[in-house]
Amino acid sequence: MSESKYESKIISAACSAAQVYRVLSNMDNLNRVKDLIPKDKIQEMDIEPDRVRLKVDGLAQKITIAIVDRIENDTIKFGAEGIPMQANFWIQMKEVSPVDTRLKLTVKADIPFMFKMMLEKKLQTGLDQAAEMLAQFPYAQWN
């Protein structure tokens, strides 16, 4: 296996870094959007402030995504358990002004060589889409 790093494009959210941090650093906020997640992809979701456990279509066991580190108004780091490779990801925030925070998502994963070529483009596309989605959250209303 070889460790690979993928970064999303940098996206602007129309709020402060503190507002983004307050929402994204508490996984309980997933309860506000869990009805938007396709039921055929995620069968179960147990949400706690620091972790979410998911039963994902195609995987025999539940996976866990947990917050492993926080740097207030700057970075939130996540780890994943129950997946067939070692992976972690983080969200970085850079406040340009009180109504403009730049977001970037990064994934670091040990992807087996034979799957790397198949997954790279999908992973990059997914990261960019996730960053776009996070930039659209109504952070000011959720605080």
Percent of the residues in the chain that have a pLDDT greater than 90, as a whole number? 60
pLDDT over 80 (residue 55): yes
Tens-digit pLDDT profile for residues 21-41:
999 999 999 888 888 777 777
> Has residue 1 got a pLDDT over 70?
no
Total structural domains within the chain = 1
Average pLDDT of every residue of the chain: 90
**117: domain CATH number?**
3.30.530.20
Whether the model clears a pTM of 0.85, i.e. scores above it, the answer is yes
Please, which residues have CB within 8 angstroms of residue 76's CB and are 6 or more apart in sequence?
21, 24, 25, 67, 69, 70, 90, 91
Boundaries of domain holding 32: 2-142
Indicate the pLDDT class of residue 103, thresholds 50, 70 and 90: very high
